[in-house]
Amino acid sequence: MTRGSAPIVAARGVGRSVVLPEGDTLTILDGIDLDVYDGDRVSVVGRSGSGKSTLLNLLGLIDTPSAGDLRFLGEDVRTMRGGRRDRLRGEEVGFVFQQFNLLPGRTALENVQTPMLYAPGRSFWRRERIAREMLERVGLGERLATMPERLSGGEQQRVAIARALVRRPRLILADEPTGALDLQTGATVMHLIEEVARETDAALVTITHDPTIAARSSRHLRLDAGRLVDKIEVPA
């Protein structure tokens, strides 16, 4: 896809609700309006249960909205076939989670190669070299053959970052990426994510409880009772 002035993700009046076992409807998100462009740095804060992770799942094509209009690179997500959503998510979206979700029994190098098993052509055949270079990029060139359980928390998060960014996604979605890390390691992790995003002009949307992490973004949003509020104040 060619990068340009159109948004990567455009949401208008987007809602997400689920039907509970007793038959009641629970509204998680309501009336969400949001555009995310190439190079954007967006932070979203909110209380637990406010719908932050649900919003990230919608932006990342994991879930589809119950209401409203959501477009990814100009395509209507609600009418998009599942296979198309999966391909776009694999090619254009990188997820960084608080829980590292590394594959047990696989080395750091094998974990980072995983997203490239479905890459087209040359990228597929060069996947080991590309994964190796990305691990070196995040300072783990000496830990390629190490299993996740032998890595520290900060090292596991770096592997997770390398795996999320190895295909140079256009949209990076980070869900509490520093929540399981100490302050210094968390700052290092955010610097790494931002640096790689800057190299490719990728958009970065970060879900966080930490005001110092939120302050690193240029746009600051808050989710309150399923609604998105713009221009919150964050500490300098």
Query: For the segment 172-228, what is each residue's pLDDT rounded down to a tens digit?
Result: 999 888 777 777 777 888 888 898 889 889 999 999 888 888 889 999 999 988 899
CB 19 within 8 A of CB 91: no
Is residue 27 a part of any domain in this protein?
no
**Residue 127 pLDDT:** 87
In a domain, 140, yes or no: yes
Residue 33 lies in a domain: no
Residues 133-182: tens digit of each pLDDT: 989 988 898 999 999 999 988 889 889 988 988 888 999 999 888 777 77
Angle (CA) 93-216-113 rounded to 5° is 30
Asked if residue 71 belongs to a domain, the reply is no
pLDDT score of 229:
84
For residue 60, being part of any structural domain is answered with yes
Of residues 100 and 144, more confidence is placed in: 144
Tens digit of each residue's pLDDT (9 = 90 or more) over 52-94: 889 999 999 999 999 999 999 999 999 999 999 998 998 899 9
**Among 36-45, 81-90, 112-121, the range of highest mean pLDDT:** 36-45
Residue 46 has φ and ψ, to the nearest 5°, of 165, 160
> Is 4 part of a structural domain of the chain?
no
CATH number of the domain bearing residue 171: 3.40.50.300
Domain assignment present for 2: no
pTM here is 0.86
pLDDT value at 108 more than 90:
yes
Instruction: Kindly report the length of the chain.
Output: 236
Q: What is the reported pLDDT for 1?
A: 44
* Number of domains forming the structure of the chain: 1
What is the residue-averaged pLDDT of the chain?
Answer: 88
What range does the domain containing 106 cover? Answer: 38-64+81-230
**Residue 10 belongs to some domain of the structure:** no
